[in-house]
Chain A
Amino acid sequence: MTFYQTIAEGLFFAFILLVILGSILTIRTKILMHTVLGLAVAFLGTAGIYFYLGSMFLTLMQILIYVGAICIVLVFGIMVGYTPTEVADKTIKDWRNKFLAIFSATTAFLLLIACVLKTDWVPALAENRDFSITHLGEEFLYTYCLAFELISIVLLVAIIGSIILARGGREDEYKTIEHLRSAKGNYPNDDAQ
Chain B
Amino acid sequence: MDEIIRQHYDVDGSDFTRAGEASGKIKKTLKDIGFTPEAVRKTAIAVYEAEINLVIHAGGGEIDVEITPEHVRIVLTDHGPGIENVELAMQEGYSTAPDRIRALGFGAGMGLPNIKKYTDEMDIQTELGVGTVMTLKINA
B and A form one assembly: no
Q: Interface of B with A (CB < 8 Å)?
A: none
